[in-house]
Chain A
Amino acid sequence: MSEHQDQSVGSDDAAPGDQEAGEHAVAAGVRNYLIGLALAAGLTVASFWVASGTGLIYPPGVPMALAALAIGQMGVHLAFFLHITTGPDNTNNALALAFGVMIVGIVIAGSLWIMYHMNTNMMLPSDM
C-alpha cells in the first residue's frame, strides 16, 4: 500500500494508460487530450458524412471508407486517450494489444468465412 511501490524510478516499463510525467505534465496532458478529441471528432464527422451518401465516394466503396475511418479513429483513441505508444516502455502493452487484435480478427474473419460457406452450401435457397 505504501506510496513508494507505485513510483518505480528508471523503470523500462510503463502501465498502460499512464502518460509520461514531465515538467509541464498538466499542460502537456491537456493538450494531448485536446488533440485526440479534435481528431476523433473530425473522423466521426467524416464517417457520418460518408454514410449520408454524398456522392463524392463511389457508392460500393462506402463500406470500405467507413471501415478505414473506424480503424483510424480507434487508433486515435488508443494513442491519445489510452496512451499506448510504440516506445520501449510500452512493448508489453502493445504486444498484448496485438495478441488481442489478432484473436478479434480471427474470430470475426473466421466466422464470416465459415458461415458464408455454410450458408451457401446448407441453407435452402428459397424463403431466405
Chain B
Amino acid sequence: MLGKLSWSAIPFSQPIPMAASFVVIVVILATLAWITLKGHWPYLWNEWITSVDHKKVGVMYCALAFLMLIRGFTDAIMMRSQQALAFNAPGYLPPEHYDQIFSAHGTIMIFFVAMTFMIGLMNFVVPLQLGSRDVAFPTLNSVSLWLNAAGVLLVNMSLVIGEFGKAGWLSFPPLSELKYSPGVGIDYYLWALQISGIGTLLTGVNFVTTILKIRAPGMTLTRMPIFCWTSLASSLLMVAAFPILTATFAMLLLDRYLGFHFFTDSAGGNSMMYMNLIWAWGHPEVYILILPAFGVFSEVISTFSGKPLFGYRSMIIATMAICILAFGVWLHHFFTMGAGADVNGFFGIMSMIIAVPTGVKIFNWLFTMWGGRVRFEQPILWALSFMITFVVGGMTGVLLAVPPADFVLHNSLFLVAHFHNVIIGGVLFGAFAGYTYWFPKAFGFKLHEGTGKAAFWCWTIGFYVAFLPLYVLGLEGMTRRMQHYDVAEWRPWLLIAALGAVIILFGIGFQIAQLVISIRRREKLRDLTGDPWDGRTLEWSTFSPPPHFNFAVLPNITGAEAYWGIKQKAIEQRRLTDLPDYKPIEMPRNSPTGFVVAFFAVVTGFALIWHIWWMVIVGLVGAFATFVVFAWRDRSEFELPADELARIDGERRKARIGIVEGREKGITPVKYSGSHEEDPNRLGARAEPDGGHKGPASKRIVTGYGFWIFLLSDFILFSGFYAAYAVLSHATAGGPTPKLFDLKILAVETACLLLSSFACGMATIASNARNMLWTQIGYLVTGALGLGFLSLEISEFARMLAIGAGPDRSAFLSAFFALVGLHGLHVAIGLLWLGTMMAQIWAKGFRADIMRRGLCFALFWHALDIIWVGIFTNVYLLGTTP
C-alpha cells in the first residue's frame, strides 16, 4: 500500500537532521497558523498563488531563492565547521550525513538558488524592459514557478522522510546506481530535478518567445537592453541544454527502476557516457547562470555611471558567442577520464577561447565607467566587487582549462575554490546587484543603505577569507568532499576558511536585517517617481510598483535606451509627452493551474520515490485533468476599460512632472539632440523610426513559435537518447541482429505513421476551412492510424520481451527500448491530446484558441514522423543490414 515507506524512513536516531527538521516544521506550522489567524489566505491565493503576473511570479522566484540560500548556506557552514574540527578526529557529522550535506549543498545552490534567482530577475524585468504587458505564455509561466517549487519541496522533504543523495551534486554512476545506492536519496535527487527541470525548460521556451515575438513597437533587436539579450541567450541555453539533462536522468532512472544498463558496470553499460551527457548539459548550465548576471551588471554599471553602455554591439556579439561556444567545452570537466590528446587538446583550446568574449565584456564595463560620474550606490558596489572577483575566478578557470594542469588540480579544493569564485563572485553578486537595483521597482521603496553596505562588505571579505585558502589547500593536495583528514599543514587554512564562512553568515544576517528595517521605514525610503536611480530602460518609465498591466499604452520606441531618450526629450521641452489615446486592453485572468499541477507533481514524485504505484497514477491523472480543465475554460482574459487606464496613467503622469521640471534630485539632464536619429550607416539601421518592428506578433504566431521552440527541445531530448544508442549499441555482444527486428512489421508501422501524418494535414486544412465533419474525420483517421502504430509497437516489444531480449539483457537493448519507447510514449501522449482536442472542437467549435492548439498538435504529430525517420533508418534498417 505504501511501497517502501515505513516509520523507519524517519531518522529518529540522528539528532542533527531530527532537530533541524523539527525547527523547520515548527516554523512552517507557525507561519501557516499566522496566515490563517490573520485571514491572509484569500489575499495569498488571489494575489500571489494563482497570479500569472510576470512581476509577482518573479518576486516569488526570488523569495524562494533567498529561502533556499539560507538552507544551502546552512549546509555550507556545517561542512566548513566539520572540516575545521575533523583533523585526526571524526568531527560531529558522520560520513553518511556529511555526504548528504555536500550533495544537497551543490544541488540546492545551483538549481534552487542561482538559477531560481536569475529566472526570478528575468521574470520581473524582461517584459518591462521590452515594453510588453506580460510574458508570451503567462499561465505556463506560473506552471514553471510552481514546478520549481515542487522540486524544492521534494529536496527538502528528504530531510525528514528518508534521506538525500550521497553521490555528489551530479550523482555520478556507478555510485548512484541501485547496486551502490539502494536508498531513496538518489531517487529524491532525480525526481526533484526532473520536475523542476521541466519548469526550467518551459521558462526557457517562454522567454525565447517573449523576447523574439512580443516586444513593443519600435523595440528592434538591436535596441533591446543588454539584460534582454543575455536573458535571450540564457533562455536559448535552457531550451537546448535542459533536454539533455532530462534524457540523462531518465536513463539513470530507467537503470534504477527497471533494470536497464545505461551506466551500470555490467552488461555493457558505460558510466563514462553519463559524465559525457551530464556535462553536455552542465557546462551550458554555467552560462545559463552567469549570462543574466552579466546583463544585470551591464544595466547597473551603465545606470550608475550615467553613461550609455560602452560597446553595446560588441556586448551582444560577445553574449551570443558565449551562447554558442558554451556547447563546445564540456569535456574540460573530465579531462582526466582518459580521452586522448586530440580530444583534450581540442576542448582545452575551446575553453580558453570562451574566455575571450568574457574578457570583452569586462573591458566594456570598465570603459563604461571611465569618464562617467559613478554614484556608489549598493548595486554598483556589488558590480565592482564582481569585476575583481570574477577576473580572479576566470583566470583560475583558464588555468584549469590547460589539460596537464587539470591532471594536477582535478577534484582538488583548487577546483572548488575556482567555481565558487565564479559562482559567488559572478552569479550571486549579480543576483544581489539585481535585487538591490530592482527592489524599489518591485515594492515601491528603496532598500536601507547602511545595512546593505555592511552586507556587501561582509560578503566580499567573507568570500575572500573563505575561498582563497581553498586555492592553497588545493595546491597542497587536499581533495574535495573529505569528511576528515590527517595532514597537519591543512588545518590552519581550513580554520581560516571556516572564519570566512562566519563572515559570510554576518553578511546574510545584515541582508535579513536590511529587509526588515527597509520594510519598517518604507515611508521614508519611498520611491514616488518610479525612477529612483535616474534609469535608462523602460522599466523606470512606469510606477513603482508597476500596475499589473505594466503600460497603459505600449511605448513607442525610436532608439536605443528607450526611456532615456523619452526622458531627456521631456526634460528639454519641460513637458510630458502628449496625452495618449487610451484603448481598452485585455489581460490574462489568474489561474490556479500552476499550483494544482505542481501539487500533483509532488504527489507523483513522492509516490515514485517510495514506489507507491497507485499514488503515481493518481498524481498523473490529476495533472492531466488539471490541464484539460484549463484548456476547457471559456474566458481566459478580462478587459480593462479605457477610462480606468486613463485614471491610473494620469496618476503616473502627475508623479512624473517633478522629473520633467527638474525638481527631482538625482536626475541628470544632458544636452539632448532633439531628434533621436540613429546612425544610418550602422548595421541593421532602418529609415523608419520604428526600425521596422511593428510591435507584438499575433497570438497564433506567438503560440506556434513557442511550440516550435518546445519541439526543438524535444528533438534535443531524442538526440541524447540517440547518442546513448549510438555509443552503446555495439558495446555488447548481441548488438542489433536481423533476427531481432521484423522488417515487415516495421514497414506497416512506418506506413501507419506516414498516412496518419497525411490525415492530420487533411484535418488541418478542413479546420482552416471551418468544416466540422471533415476535420473530425481527418482527426479520427489520424488517431486510428496512430493507435495502429502504437499497438504494433507494443506487440513488437512484447515479442522481444517474450524471447528474453528485454532491456535488462544488454546495454544495446536498454538503449533500443528507451529510444523507441520514448517515441512510442510521444505517440501515446499525442493520442491523448488528440482525443481531448477533438472533444473540444466538437463542443466549442472552431474557436481561435482551439485552432491555435490544433496548429501545435499538427506540428507535434508531423515532428514525430521526422523522429521516426531517424529511428527506422538508423536503428532498424542499419541494424539489419548485413
Contact = CB atoms under 8 A, between A and B. Distances in A.
Interface of A: 1-3, 5-8, 11, 13-18, 21, 25-26, 29-30, 33-34, 36-37, 40-41, 44, 47-48, 50-53, 59, 62-63, 66-67, 69-70, 73-74, 77-78, 81-82, 92-93, 96-97, 99-104, 106-108, 110-115, 117-122, 128
Nearest to A40: B754
A21 B768 contact: yes
A78 B697 CA distance: 23
B852 A77 contact: no
B719 A107 contact: yes
B855 interface: yes
A17 B859 contact: yes
A77 B760 CA distance: 13
A13 to B, nearest CB: 5
A66 to B, nearest CB: 5
B701 A14 contact: yes
A121 B339 contact: yes
B199 interface: no
Interface string B238-274: 0010001000000000000000000000000010110
Contact of A117 (B343, B865, B878): B343
Contact of A16 (B208, B270, B758, B859): B859
Interface in B690-744: 694, 697-701, 703-705, 707-709, 712-713, 715-716, 719-720, 722-724, 726-727, 731, 743
B699 A6 contact: yes
B701 A13 contact: yes
B491 to A, nearest CB: 37
Contact of A113 (B277, B343, B698, B704): B343
B881 interface: yes
- Looking at chain B's contact residues, the main secondary structure is helix
Given A77-B757, A104-B719, 15 more contacts: A2-B586, A11-B694, A26-B769, A29-B761, A36-B761, A37-B758, A62-B881, A67-B874, A74-B869, A77-B866, A81-B757, A81-B865, A101-B715, A103-B719, A115-B272
Interface string B829-861: 000000000000000000111011001001100
B195 interface: no
B716 A104 contact: yes
Nearest to A116: B727
Contacts of A115: 270, 272-273, 276, 727
B859 A74 contact: no
B878 A51 contact: yes
B765 interface: yes
B877 interface: yes
A43 to B, nearest CB: 8
Interface in B751-779: 751, 754-755, 757-758, 761-762, 764-765, 768-769
Given A30-B762, A100-B712, A117-B343, A15 B880 contact: no
A7 B877 contact: no
A44 B754 contact: yes
B874 to A, nearest CB: 7
B272 A6 contact: no
A113 to B, nearest CB: 7
B591 to A, nearest CB: 14
Size class of the contact patch on chain B: 35 or more
A121 B338 CA distance: 6
A67 B705 CA distance: 29
B653 interface: no
A70 B726 contact: no
Contacts of A21: 768
A107 B716 contact: yes
Contacts of B680: none
B314 interface: no
Contacts of B722: 108
Contacts of B375: none
Nearest to B768: A25
B338 A118 contact: yes
A1 B330 CA distance: 44
A47 B873 contact: yes
B859 A92 contact: no
A6 B719 CA distance: 34
A17 B704 contact: yes
B855 A17 contact: yes
A82 B863 contact: yes
B870 interface: yes
Nearest to A28: B765
B862 interface: yes
B727 A111 contact: yes
B47 interface: no
Nearest to A78: B866
24 contacts: A1-B847, A1-B848, A6-B852, A15-B700, A16-B705, A16-B707, A17-B858, A21-B768, A29-B764, A33-B758, A37-B757, A47-B877, A51-B878, A69-B873, A81-B865, A82-B859, A96-B712, A97-B712, A100-B712, A104-B715, A107-B716, A108-B723, A115-B272, A118-B276
Interface string B807-837: 0000000000000000000000000000000
Contacts of B863: 82
B240 A103 contact: yes
